[in-house]
A and B are shown apart, each in its own frame.
Chain A
Amino acid sequence: MTHTKLRKLKISYGDNHALKEINVDIPDKQITAIIGPSGCGKTTLLKSINRIIELSEGVKVRGEVLIDGANIYGKDADVLALRKKVGFLPQRPCPLPMSIYDNVAFGPRIHRLSEEQITKQLEKQKTNGLVKKEKSKKYQDYSKMDHLVEHYLKLAGLWDEVKDRLHSSASKLSIGQQQRLALARVLAIEPEVILADEPTSALDPLSAKLVEEQFKLLKKDYTIVIVTHILRQARRIADYVMFMYLGELIEHGPAEKFFNAPQKDKTKEYLSGEIS
Chain B
Amino acid sequence: MKARKKADSIATFFFYSSAIFIGILALIILAVLVVKSLPILSNNNFFELLFSSSWRPSRGEFGFLPFIVGTIEVTLIAMAIAIPICLLSSIYLSEYATKRMRSIFMPVIDLLAGIPSVVFGLFGILVIVPFVSFLGKMFGSSTTGYSLLSGSIILAIMVFPIIISVATAVLRSVPHELRESSLALGATRWQTVKKVVVRSSIGGLIAAVVLGFSRAIGETMAVLMVIGNVAIIPKSLFDPAYTLTSLIANNYGEMMSIPMYDSALLLAALMLLLIVAFFNIISHIILSKLIKHNYTNEA
Contacts and interface: CB of A to CB of B under 8 A. Distances in A.
Contacts of A111: 186
A55 B185 contact: no
Contact of B185 (A57, A91, A97, A107): A107
A198 to B, nearest CB: 12
A12 to B, nearest CB: 18
B199 A94 contact: no
B182 A96 contact: yes
Given A81-B186, A94-B175, A182 B181 contact: yes
| B: contact size bracket | 20 to 34
Given A92-B177, A110-B191, A110-B195, A97 B186 contact: no
A172 B295 CA distance: 11
A214 B294 CA distance: 29
A249 interface: no
A39 to B, nearest CB: 18
Interface string A173-217: 000000000100110010000000000000000000000000000
Contacts of A84: 185-186
A88 B179 CA distance: 12
A83 B181 contact: no
22 contacts: A50-B184, A52-B180, A52-B183, A87-B184, A88-B184, A90-B177, A91-B177, A94-B178, A94-B181, A96-B178, A97-B178, A97-B295, A97-B296, A98-B195, A98-B295, A106-B187, A106-B195, A111-B186, A171-B297, A171-B298, A186-B185, A189-B185
Contacts of A82: 186
A84 to B, nearest CB: 4
A81 B187 CA distance: 10
A97 B184 contact: no
B196 interface: yes
B200 A97 contact: yes
Interface string A43-64: 0000000101001010000000
A80 B177 contact: no
B294 A172 contact: yes
Interface string A93-104: 010111000000
B59 interface: no
A125 interface: no
Nearest to B197: A97
Interface string A206-248: 0000000000000000000000000000000000000000000
Nearest to B296: A97
A119 interface: no
B188 interface: yes
A94 B176 CA distance: 10
A52 B186 CA distance: 10
A169 interface: yes
Nearest to B200: A97
A80 B180 contact: no
Contacts of B177: 90-92, 94
B4 interface: no
Contacts of A81: 186
Nearest to A109: B195
Contacts of A50: 184
Given A107-B185, A110-B191, 20 more contacts: A80-B186, A83-B183, A88-B180, A88-B181, A88-B185, A94-B177, A94-B178, A96-B178, A96-B181, A96-B195, A97-B294, A98-B195, A106-B185, A106-B195, A110-B185, A169-B294, A169-B295, A171-B297, A182-B181, A189-B185
B5 to A, nearest CB: 42
Nearest to B298: A171
Contact of A97 (B98, B176, B187, B199): B199
